[in-house]
Chain A
Amino acid sequence: MKKSNIKAWLYLLPALVFLGVFMVYPLFDVVVYSFEEGYNSASQSFFGTGLYNFSYVLHDPYFLQAVKNTFILVIITVPVSTGLSLLISLALSSIQKLKDLFQTLYFLPYVTNTLAVGLVFMILFKKTAYSDGLINLLINIFGGQSVDFIEGPYWAKMLVLCIYTIWIVMPFKILILTSSLASVNQDYYKVAKVDATPKWRVFTKITLPMISPMLFYLIITGFIGAFKAYSDAVALFGVNLNAQGMNTIVGYVLDMLYGNSGGYPSYASAAALILFAIVLTVTVINLLVSKKKVYY
C-alpha cells in the first residue's frame, strides 16, 4: 500500500511541481504583492502594507478608462456574437448542400494568429495620407464621411475593436452551437411538424430549450473571454494602448508590469485582483440566471 502511494505521487510529481511554482505560489504571491505598498522591483523592498495599491489603481484615470473600455467591449460583443452565431448555426443546420464548405470557412479565423490578422483589419479601416482605406471607401459610396478608425474618434476605434473581437470569437461559438443543434433528436422536429407547429414556435419552445445549456455555457465563457480582451486591441492599435485611450484591464495589468510604464507589480496585482473579482461576480450572476432558465 505504501509503495503504491509513493509511486502515485511520483507520477504526479511533474504536474505538482509545475503547478506549484507557476500557479499556486503566484496565486498567494499576487495577493501579497497587492498589499505591499511602494514595492520596488530593483531593491525588492517596500514601505508598508495596506490598501494603498487598490486605491491608487481605482483612482488612476488609465485604469478607469481601461475598465470603461472593457465593459463596453463586453456589453457589445457578447450579445452580438452569441446572437449572430446562433443565427448562423440555425441557418447552417437548415441546409444540406455546401454545409461542410461553409462550416470549414467559418472556422478559419479560429486558427489564425490574432496579431497577424489584426494588422489586416487595421489596414482595412485605417485612414492615411495616401488612402482612406477600403472601409471608408464603402462608407463614401453610401454617402458617409471618411473616419479614421484607428487613430480617430473614440467611438470609431471602439467600433473596430468590437468588430474584430466578434470576428475572432465567432468560429468557436458557431462550431459549438452547430454541433449542439445537430445533437437534438430529429424526432422532436418531426413530431412538431406533424403537429403543424409554426417555425417560430418550434424555435422558442423546442430548439431553444434544448440547446439552452450550451447557449449559457457560451455566454458565460464569452463574458470571461471578453473581460480578458487584450491582444485584439494590441493588434489594432499597437502596444501603447493608454495613449490611444483603448487600453483594457488586462492591458493595464501588463503595462504596469512591464514596458515603458512598467515596474509596478503591486499596482498590477491590485488591478488583476479587481479584474478577477469582476469576472467572478459576473460569472456567479450568470450561473444564478442560468439555473433558473436552463431546464436541466
Chain B
Amino acid sequence: MNEKPPLLKLEAIRKHFGAIEALKGIDMEINSGEVVALLGDNGAGKSTLVKIVSGDLRPTAGRIVMEGEEHDFASPAEAKAAGIETVYQDLSLCTNADVVANFFMGREITKRFLGIPILQEREMEAVVAQAMADAGTQIPSLRTNVEYLSGGQRQAIELNRFVHWGGKLVLLDEPFAALGVEQTRRGLETVRQVASRGIGVVVITHIMAQAFQVADRIIVIRHGVVAGNVRPEETTSDQVIDMITGGSLSGAGKGRG
C-alpha cells in the first residue's frame, strides 16, 4: 500500500529530568488537517511533550518523525523551519515592544538598502491589521506596546500569529486560559478553520468541554504514558475522566454516577 505517512509520528519519546521521569515512552500520530486534544492531569507530562515537539526541550530517547523524515530539533528555530508553530501557555510576547514587532518576531519584512536590511514598518503594520481584522480582534493601536494590553488581547495576538504563519503543525498549550467566553468560542472556531486548511493542530487543555467541542481525536496522557486515544463520538466525558485519573474520580463530584 502506498499510504501517506502521518504528519507527525512520535515513537517511544522519553524525557528525564534528573531522577524524575516525566515521559516514559510516548507513541502517537497526528495527521494533516486533524485536531487532536491532549488531555491530562497537572504534571502528567503534556507541557513537556509540547516542548519536545516544538524544539524547546530535547527528548532523552525516542524518535520524532515528521512526514516520514526523522528530526532532532536542537532549538525552536529548527522546529519552526520544519513547519511547527507553538503557542505557549506562558505567552511568548515581548511586552516592551508593539503589536507589530511581536507579530513579526524573527520574520520581519525587510528591504535592502546598500546591502543593509531595513525594516518595512508600514508593510508589516498592514499585514497585522489585516490579520487582526480577519480574526475580529480589536486592538486600539497596533503601535501600542503589548504591556498595555489585556490578557485576552495578548492571547489573541499569539493566536493570530500562528493562524497567519500556519506551517504544517500547530501546538497550542492551554491557548484559551485567559480568554472570555466569546473569545474562547471564536478561538475554537479558529482552530477548526486552521485545521480545514490541512494543518495539523494539537490543543492542550484540561477543559473537557473544549476537547469534545473541537477535537477529532482525544489523547490522554497519564503519568508520562498515553492512557487513551479515542474519538470524541465514541466516548463520554466520564470515560475520559477515568483515563485521566486512572478511574479514581469518575464517581466523585456532584451529580455524577
Real complex partners, A and B?
no
